[in-house]
A and B are shown apart, each in its own frame.
Chain A
C-alpha cells in the first residue's frame, strides 16, 4: 500500500532554514510526480510545489517561489522541501502527496509534519 511519511518538522527561529523529507514506499516512486502542500493552523490547504517523476521540471506557487526548493532522490525513494528565510506565517502542517496517476489529482497524502516558526 502507498505510504508517505514526512519528517523534519519542529520549532525553528525566524530567518533560519529547514529541510523536510518525505519517505515513500509501496509504489514505484521514480514514476510519479510529487507535491508539497501546507496548511496553517485553522486555515485552508495551500499547494506549494510539484516535481516531475524524474526531477527535471519543478513548479512553485507564486507565494513561495524563490524561498523554497523541491527536490527528490529516486534512489532513496525520498522527496525533499528546502525552506529558507522562514517567517512566522510559514508555521503550518506540511504534507507530501502523490498524483493518483501521471498529471492527475493528488491521490495519496502523508500525515504531515508540523513546522513552527517562532523565536
Chain B
C-alpha cells in the first residue's frame, strides 16, 4: 500500500496569496497517477487535478499541479475566497488507491 504524506497540515494565508501544497509518496506513483481533490465542509470532494498536472473540467487555471515519481505539488496562484478548503492528494496507480491526510488552507 502506497502511503501519501501531505504537508503542511494547515496553511494560513490571505486572499490573493500563493498557496503551495506538497504530497510525497512512499514509493513511486507510476505514470504520474496522482490526483488532487478539494473538499469544503458538508460537501463531497471535487476533482481538481489528475495525471499530476491536468486540470479537470471547469477548474480555474489558478490551480496547477506538478511533480512525478514520489514528489507532487498543488499550487494555487492567487487565493480566492472560495479556495479556502481542505485539499487531498490521491494515487490511482496502484489497485489499492490511497489518499493523503489532507492540507487545510485557512484564512489568515
- List residues of chain A with CB under 8 Å of any chain B CB: 35, 37, 44-47, 50, 59-62, 95, 100, 103-107, 109-112
Query: In the complex the two chains form, what is the Cα distance from A60 to B96 in whole Å?
Result: 6
Docked pose: A60 CA to B97 CA in angstroms: 9
CB-nearest residue of chain A relative to B97? Answer: A47
12 A–B contacts from the bound complex (CB under 8 Å): A44-B99, A45-B37, A47-B97, A50-B97, A59-B95, A60-B96, A61-B96, A95-B44, A105-B51, A105-B90, A107-B47, A109-B45
Chain A to chain B: the 4 pairs with minimum beta-carbon distance, closest first = A105-B35, A109-B44, A105-B50, A59-B95
What's the Cα separation between A46 and B102 when bound, in Å?
11
B92 within 8 A of A: yes
The binding surface of chain B is classed by DSSP as: loop
Closest to B35 in A: A105
Q: Indicate if the CB atoms of A45 and B45 lie closer than 8 Å.
A: yes
- Interface flags for B6-42 (1: CB within 8 Å of A; 0: not) read 0000000000000000000000000001010101000
Cβ–Cβ contact A62 & B44, under 8 A: no
A60 to B98, CA, bound (A): 11
Minimum C-beta distance from A20 to chain B (A): 15
Are B102 and A44 touching (Cβ within 8 A)? Answer: yes
Complex CA gap A50/B93 in Å reads: 13
The answer on a CB contact under 8 Å between B99 and A45 is: yes
Instruction: A100-B47, A110-B44 are known; give 18 further A-B pairs, CB within 8 A.
Output: A37-B99, A45-B39, A45-B45, A45-B99, A47-B99, A59-B95, A60-B96, A62-B1, A100-B50, A105-B47, A105-B51, A106-B35, A106-B37, A106-B90, A106-B97, A107-B47, A109-B44, A109-B45
Asked if residues B44 and A112 are in contact (CB atoms below 8 Å), the reply is yes
What residues on A are CB-neighbors of B50 within 8 Å?
100, 104-105, 107
Q: Is the CB of A106 within 8 A of B47?
A: yes
Distance (whole angstroms) from the CB of A96 to the closest CB of chain B = 10
**Does B72 sit at the interface, judged by CB under 8 A?**
no
**Distance to closest chain A CB from B83 (angstroms):** 18
